[in-house]
Each structure stands twice: as C-alpha cells, then as structure tokens.
Amino acid sequence: MAGSEMDVTHALGGQGVAAGPTSQRSRVSATRAALALFAGIAAWLVPGLGHLLLGRWSRALVFFCAVSGLVVSGYLLRGNVFPPHSGDPFGTLGFLADAGTGVFYYYSRFFEAAGPDVSRAAGDYGTRFIAAAGVVNVLAVLDTIEIATGRRS
C-alpha cells in the first residue's frame, strides 16, 4: 500500500479502507452545497444574482426583469405590503410572499410613501403583483440551488 493509503487505513482502525475518490467526492459535494447555499441567499436578496454568480446571464436578466417589473408595478398601483407580524394566517402568507421579493420588500416604504390603497381594484391588483413577484423569486432561488448542486444544467 502507498503511504497515504496506509495512514488512512491506520486512522480508520485498520479495516483496509483507503482514502480515494469517495473522500474527494464528499469534499466536492460539500463545496457544491456551500456554493448552492451562497447562491441561493444571493438569489433571494437580489433577484437574478444567484444565476449571475453561476454564469447564467440570460436567466439572471429574465428573473431580475420579471421580479422587479412585478414589484414596481405593484408598488405603483399602491398594493398592500403585508407586515411581518399578523394575527391572520392569510396575512402571514402574504408576508411570506412579499418577503420572497428579497431586497424589494425593504424598499416598499420608499415606493409606497402614500401607503396602500386597496379600496380600488388597482390596489388589489398591485397586492397580487407584489405577491406574484415573491413567488417568482422563490422559484428562481430554487432553480439557482438546483443548478449549483448539479442536479440541473
């Protein structure tokens, strides 16, 4: 046996198991998992950034334009942005959908200086646009994670 195989065999209790491709595979999978986590967080914070980090320029641009277009349209229509704490289960779901937009959720107070206006149909549509943007961004995050882990090309 080679020296490195002998050291690993001794460290594992002398069972004759040598370090080979399996330890390299586990290191590669750990690196891919870390990359997937980093890219997923980046994709959530700024829509399209995860795809951009993975070199998928066209997908990054499509997701950024789709999410930002929906969010800005929703804000301009004066849609409701749900607060983090709500006693209503639907309010909590609305918050989760809105928080899915990442950094755009925190910019909502800047865009929505006058506050929401759901008394008109446009305000109600705006609320749906903002929630749809969050769902689209969550799907983009999941796509980023799939690509980063190698499950999807």
92-139 per-position pLDDT tens digit: 998 999 999 999 888 877 776 666 676 777 778 888 999 999 999 999
* Closest to 144 in 3D by CA, of 31, 63, 65: 63
Residues in the chain: 153
Annotated domain spans of the chain: 35-149
pLDDT > 70 fraction of the chain, expressed in percent and rounded: 80
